[in-house]
Protein backbone atom coordinates (compact mmCIF):
# COMPACT_ATOMS: atom_id res chain seq x y z
CA UNK A 1 0.00 0.00 0.00
CA UNK A 2 1.04 3.62 -0.54
CA UNK A 3 0.07 6.19 2.09
CA UNK A 4 0.39 9.96 1.63
CA UNK A 5 -0.08 12.13 4.69
CA UNK A 6 -0.38 15.92 4.84
CA UNK A 7 2.13 16.91 2.18
CA UNK A 8 3.15 20.57 1.98
CA UNK A 9 5.43 22.25 -0.54
CA UNK A 10 6.32 25.88 -1.25
CA UNK A 11 8.33 27.40 -4.08
CA UNK A 12 10.19 30.71 -4.01
CA UNK A 13 8.92 33.38 -6.39
CA UNK A 14 12.27 34.76 -7.45
CA UNK A 15 11.52 35.90 -10.99
CA UNK A 16 8.85 37.90 -12.75
CA UNK A 17 8.03 34.85 -14.89
CA UNK A 18 7.26 32.80 -11.77
CA UNK A 19 4.94 35.51 -10.52
CA UNK A 20 3.23 35.69 -13.90
CA UNK A 21 2.62 31.94 -13.95
CA UNK A 22 0.92 32.06 -10.54
CA UNK A 23 -0.89 35.39 -10.74
CA UNK A 24 -4.26 33.62 -11.03
CA UNK A 25 -3.55 31.78 -7.77
CA UNK A 26 -3.05 34.79 -5.49
CA UNK A 27 -4.57 33.07 -2.47
CA UNK A 28 -1.62 30.63 -2.49
CA UNK A 29 1.03 33.31 -3.02
CA UNK A 30 2.39 35.24 -0.04
CA UNK A 31 5.67 36.65 1.29
CA UNK A 32 7.60 35.77 -1.86
CA UNK A 33 6.57 32.10 -1.95
CA UNK A 34 3.93 30.05 -3.72
CA UNK A 35 2.18 27.44 -1.58
CA UNK A 36 1.87 24.63 -4.12
CA UNK A 37 0.67 22.09 -1.53
CA UNK A 38 -0.78 22.89 1.88
CA UNK A 39 -2.26 19.54 2.91
CA UNK A 40 -2.50 16.58 0.53
CA UNK A 41 -3.43 13.16 1.92
CA UNK A 42 -4.65 9.92 0.34
CA UNK A 43 -3.90 6.20 0.20
CA UNK A 44 -4.05 3.38 -2.32
CA UNK A 45 -4.01 -0.31 -1.50
CA UNK A 46 -2.41 -3.17 -3.41
CA UNK A 47 -4.54 -3.99 -6.46
CA UNK A 48 -6.41 -0.66 -6.37
CA UNK A 49 -6.52 2.17 -8.90
CA UNK A 50 -6.72 5.73 -7.60
CA UNK A 51 -7.83 8.47 -9.98
CA UNK A 52 -6.21 11.82 -9.16
CA UNK A 53 -8.32 14.77 -10.29
CA UNK A 54 -8.08 18.54 -10.05
CA UNK A 55 -8.08 21.71 -12.13
CA UNK A 56 -4.89 22.91 -13.81
CA UNK A 57 -2.45 24.30 -11.25
CA UNK A 58 -4.13 22.50 -8.34
CA UNK A 59 -0.96 20.64 -7.29
CA UNK A 60 -1.38 17.22 -8.93
CA UNK A 61 1.95 17.10 -10.72
CA UNK A 62 3.82 18.45 -7.68
CA UNK A 63 2.24 15.67 -5.61
CA UNK A 64 3.19 12.98 -8.11
CA UNK A 65 6.77 14.24 -8.34
CA UNK A 66 7.02 13.91 -4.55
CA UNK A 67 5.67 10.36 -4.77
CA UNK A 68 8.35 9.52 -7.33
CA UNK A 69 11.03 11.01 -5.01
CA UNK A 70 11.96 13.52 -7.73
CA UNK A 71 10.90 16.33 -5.38
CA UNK A 72 11.16 16.65 -1.61
CA UNK A 73 8.21 18.10 0.34
CA UNK A 74 8.56 20.68 3.09
CA UNK A 75 6.60 18.42 5.42
CA UNK A 76 4.41 15.35 5.38
CA UNK A 77 5.01 11.68 4.79
CA UNK A 78 4.90 9.17 1.93
CA UNK A 79 5.22 5.47 2.72
CA UNK A 80 5.17 2.41 0.49
CA UNK A 81 4.54 -0.45 2.90
CA UNK A 82 7.44 -0.07 5.36
CA UNK A 83 9.57 2.27 3.21
CA UNK A 84 9.67 6.00 3.90
CA UNK A 85 9.92 7.51 0.41
CA UNK A 86 11.28 10.84 1.69
CA UNK A 87 13.94 9.39 3.99
CA UNK A 88 14.91 6.46 1.75
CA UNK A 89 14.43 7.64 -1.87
CA UNK A 90 16.78 5.07 -3.42
CA UNK A 91 14.94 2.17 -1.80
CA UNK A 92 11.63 3.74 -2.81
CA UNK A 93 12.66 4.01 -6.47
CA UNK A 94 12.84 0.21 -6.61
CA UNK A 95 9.18 0.08 -5.55
CA UNK A 96 7.82 2.81 -7.83
CA UNK A 97 7.26 3.06 -11.57
CA UNK A 98 6.79 6.67 -12.66
CA UNK A 99 5.67 8.29 -15.89
CA UNK A 100 5.09 11.97 -16.54
CA UNK A 101 4.95 14.15 -19.62
CA UNK A 102 8.57 15.07 -18.94
CA UNK A 103 9.82 11.50 -18.57
CA UNK A 104 11.86 11.51 -21.78
CA UNK A 105 13.23 8.75 -23.97
CA UNK A 106 16.49 8.73 -25.89
CA UNK A 107 15.43 9.32 -29.49
CA UNK A 108 18.48 7.76 -31.13
CA UNK A 109 18.12 4.52 -29.20
CA UNK A 110 15.60 1.86 -30.14
CA UNK A 111 12.58 1.19 -27.98
CA UNK A 112 14.23 -2.00 -26.71
CA UNK A 113 17.48 -0.19 -25.89
CA UNK A 114 15.61 2.49 -23.94
CA UNK A 115 13.67 -0.04 -21.89
CA UNK A 116 16.65 -2.29 -21.22
CA UNK A 117 18.89 0.62 -20.25
CA UNK A 118 16.52 1.66 -17.47
CA UNK A 119 15.86 -1.97 -16.53
CA UNK A 120 19.54 -2.50 -15.86
CA UNK A 121 19.67 0.64 -13.72
CA UNK A 122 17.12 -1.16 -11.52
CA UNK A 123 19.15 -4.38 -11.51
CA UNK A 124 16.78 -6.35 -13.76
CA UNK A 125 18.40 -9.57 -14.99
CA UNK A 126 19.11 -10.44 -18.61
CA UNK A 127 17.09 -13.62 -18.12
CA UNK A 128 14.02 -11.59 -17.15
CA UNK A 129 14.48 -9.24 -20.11
CA UNK A 130 14.74 -12.17 -22.48
CA UNK A 131 11.67 -13.96 -21.16
CA UNK A 132 9.09 -12.39 -18.82
CA UNK A 133 9.53 -8.89 -20.23
CA UNK A 134 8.18 -10.15 -23.56
CA UNK A 135 4.72 -10.33 -21.98
CA UNK A 136 4.89 -6.64 -21.06
CA UNK A 137 5.73 -5.78 -24.67
CA UNK A 138 2.84 -7.88 -25.90
CA UNK A 139 0.37 -6.36 -23.44
CA UNK A 140 1.34 -2.87 -24.60
CA UNK A 141 1.31 -3.89 -28.29
CA UNK A 142 4.90 -2.72 -28.90
CA UNK A 143 6.60 -6.02 -29.79
CA UNK A 144 6.90 -5.28 -33.51
CA UNK A 145 8.34 -1.80 -32.87
CA UNK A 146 11.01 -2.71 -30.32
CA UNK A 147 13.93 -2.38 -32.71
CA UNK A 148 12.92 0.95 -34.21
CA UNK A 149 14.53 4.18 -33.09
CA UNK A 150 12.25 6.04 -30.71
CA UNK A 151 12.55 9.24 -32.76
CA UNK A 152 10.75 7.45 -35.61
CA UNK A 153 7.82 6.25 -33.47
CA UNK A 154 4.43 7.95 -33.17
CA UNK A 155 3.48 9.84 -30.00
CA UNK A 156 1.23 7.00 -28.90
CA UNK A 157 3.90 4.40 -29.46
CA UNK A 158 6.47 6.47 -27.57
CA UNK A 159 4.05 6.69 -24.65
CA UNK A 160 3.66 2.91 -24.62
CA UNK A 161 7.44 2.51 -24.60
CA UNK A 162 7.62 4.96 -21.68
CA UNK A 163 5.09 2.89 -19.75
CA UNK A 164 7.02 -0.30 -20.48
CA UNK A 165 10.11 1.42 -19.13
CA UNK A 166 8.18 2.45 -16.00
CA UNK A 167 7.06 -1.10 -15.18
CA UNK A 168 10.00 -3.17 -16.41
CA UNK A 169 11.34 -3.58 -12.85
CA UNK A 170 7.97 -4.87 -11.53
CA UNK A 171 7.16 -1.96 -9.17
CA UNK A 172 4.67 -2.25 -6.32
CA UNK A 173 3.26 1.18 -7.17
CA UNK A 174 2.74 2.64 -10.65
CA UNK A 175 2.36 6.44 -10.86
CA UNK A 176 1.13 7.89 -14.16
CA UNK A 177 0.75 11.62 -14.79
CA UNK A 178 -1.91 12.09 -17.51
CA UNK A 179 -0.83 8.97 -19.45
CA UNK A 180 -3.39 9.32 -22.28
CA UNK A 181 -3.10 13.05 -23.01
CA UNK A 182 -2.72 13.68 -26.75
CA UNK A 183 -3.17 10.05 -27.76
CA UNK A 184 -5.58 8.61 -30.31
CA UNK A 185 -8.41 6.27 -29.37
CA UNK A 186 -6.54 3.04 -30.07
CA UNK A 187 -3.41 4.03 -28.11
CA UNK A 188 -5.59 5.27 -25.25
CA UNK A 189 -7.50 2.00 -25.15
CA UNK A 190 -4.28 -0.04 -24.98
CA UNK A 191 -2.98 2.03 -22.06
CA UNK A 192 -6.27 1.84 -20.15
CA UNK A 193 -6.35 -1.93 -20.63
CA UNK A 194 -2.77 -2.11 -19.35
CA UNK A 195 -3.70 -0.15 -16.22
CA UNK A 196 -6.51 -2.63 -15.61
CA UNK A 197 -4.04 -5.48 -16.04
CA UNK A 198 -1.63 -3.92 -13.53
CA UNK A 199 -4.50 -3.69 -11.07
CA UNK A 200 -5.40 -7.36 -11.58
CA UNK A 201 -1.77 -8.31 -10.96
CA UNK A 202 -1.82 -6.56 -7.58
CA UNK A 203 -0.07 -3.30 -8.42
CA UNK A 204 -1.29 -0.11 -6.76
CA UNK A 205 -1.89 2.39 -9.59
CA UNK A 206 -2.21 6.15 -9.20
CA UNK A 207 -2.99 8.11 -12.33
CA UNK A 208 -3.90 11.74 -12.87
CA UNK A 209 -6.24 12.68 -15.68
CA UNK A 210 -8.74 15.27 -16.86
CA UNK A 211 -10.89 12.54 -18.42
CA UNK A 212 -13.63 11.55 -16.00
CA UNK A 213 -14.67 8.63 -18.18
CA UNK A 214 -11.26 7.04 -17.57
CA UNK A 215 -11.73 7.44 -13.83
CA UNK A 216 -15.20 5.94 -14.07
CA UNK A 217 -13.86 2.93 -15.97
CA UNK A 218 -10.86 2.15 -13.79
CA UNK A 219 -10.75 3.82 -10.40
CA UNK A 220 -11.57 2.22 -7.07
CA UNK A 221 -10.71 5.43 -5.25
CA UNK A 222 -10.77 9.12 -6.17
CA UNK A 223 -8.73 12.01 -4.83
CA UNK A 224 -9.48 15.58 -5.88
CA UNK A 225 -6.76 18.17 -5.25
CA UNK A 226 -7.88 21.80 -5.31
CA UNK A 227 -5.72 24.79 -4.39
CA UNK A 228 -3.02 22.53 -2.98
CA UNK A 229 -5.33 20.57 -0.64
CA UNK A 230 -7.04 17.19 -0.79
CA UNK A 231 -10.59 18.47 -1.19
CA UNK A 232 -11.90 14.90 -1.48
CA UNK A 233 -10.33 11.47 -1.02
CA UNK A 234 -12.50 8.40 -0.70
CA UNK A 235 -13.99 5.49 -2.63
CA UNK A 236 -15.43 5.81 -6.12
CA UNK A 237 -18.84 5.01 -4.67
CA UNK A 238 -18.57 7.88 -2.18
CA UNK A 239 -17.54 10.18 -5.02
CA UNK A 240 -20.51 9.19 -7.17
CA UNK A 241 -22.88 9.82 -4.26
CA UNK A 242 -21.92 13.49 -4.21
CA UNK A 243 -24.24 13.93 -7.21
CA UNK A 244 -27.97 13.06 -7.02
CA UNK A 245 -27.73 11.33 -10.41
CA UNK A 246 -24.26 9.85 -9.70
CA UNK A 247 -22.77 11.94 -12.51
CA UNK A 248 -18.98 12.19 -12.18
CA UNK A 249 -18.76 15.67 -13.67
CA UNK A 250 -21.33 17.01 -11.21
CA UNK A 251 -19.58 15.24 -8.33
CA UNK A 252 -16.30 16.85 -9.36
CA UNK A 253 -17.81 20.32 -9.58
CA UNK A 254 -19.51 19.79 -6.21
CA UNK A 255 -16.14 19.08 -4.57
CA UNK A 256 -14.59 22.22 -6.08
CA UNK A 257 -17.47 24.35 -4.80
CA UNK A 258 -17.19 23.19 -1.17
CA UNK A 259 -15.07 24.76 1.53
CA UNK A 260 -15.05 21.61 3.71
CA UNK A 261 -12.72 18.78 2.71
CA UNK A 262 -13.65 15.09 2.71
CA UNK A 263 -10.72 12.73 3.32
CA UNK A 264 -11.48 9.19 4.46
CA UNK A 265 -9.19 7.55 7.00
CA UNK A 266 -7.05 4.56 6.04
CATH code, domain carrying 50: 3.40.50.300
What is the chain's pLDDT, residue by residue, as a tens digit (266 residues)?
A: 899 999 999 998 764 445 445 445 556 777 788 999 999 999 999 999 999 999 998 999 999 999 998 899 999 999 999 899 999 999 999 999 999 875 679 999 999 999 999 999 999 999 999 998 999 999 999 999 999 999 999 999 999 999 999 999 999 999 999 999 889 999 999 999 999 999 999 999 999 999 999 999 999 999 999 999 999 999 999 999 999 999 999 999 999 999 878 888 76
pLDDT, tens only, 105-126? 999 999 999 999 999 999 999 9
Q: How many residues does the chain have?
A: 266
Distance of CA 189 to the CA centre of its chain: 18
| pLDDT the model gives residue 260 | 78
| pLDDT the model gives residue 133 | 94
For residues 90 and 195, state if they share a domain: yes
Let me know: does 214 contact 242? Beta carbons within 8 Å: no
For residues 17 and 38, state if they share a domain: yes
d(CA 176, CA 167): 11
Predicted structure pTM score: 0.90
For residues 81 and 178, state if they share a domain: yes
For residues 178 and 254, state if they share a domain: yes
For residues 65 and 162, state if they share a domain: no
| pLDDT the model gives residue 266 | 63
For residues 84 and 201, state if they share a domain: yes
For residues 224 and 113, state if they share a domain: no
For residues 146 and 242, state if they share a domain: no
| pLDDT the model gives residue 82 | 87
Give the residue numbers spanning the domain of 233.
Answer: 2-95+173-182+191-263
The closest alpha carbon to 158, from 199, 190, 119, 125, belongs to: 190
For residues 215 and 259, state if they share a domain: yes
Number of domains in the chain: 2
| pLDDT the model gives residue 225 | 97
Number of H helices, E strands in the chain: 11, 12
| pLDDT the model gives residue 12 | 86
| pLDDT the model gives residue 40 | 97
| pLDDT the model gives residue 20 | 45
Amino acid sequence: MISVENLTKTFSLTTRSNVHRTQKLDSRQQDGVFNALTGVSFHCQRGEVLGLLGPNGAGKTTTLRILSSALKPDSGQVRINDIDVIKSPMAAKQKIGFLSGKTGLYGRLTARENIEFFARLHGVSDDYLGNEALQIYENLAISEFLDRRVEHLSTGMQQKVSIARAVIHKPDVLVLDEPTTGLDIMATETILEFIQLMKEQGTAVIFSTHHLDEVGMLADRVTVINNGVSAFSDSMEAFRQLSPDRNLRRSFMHVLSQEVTHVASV
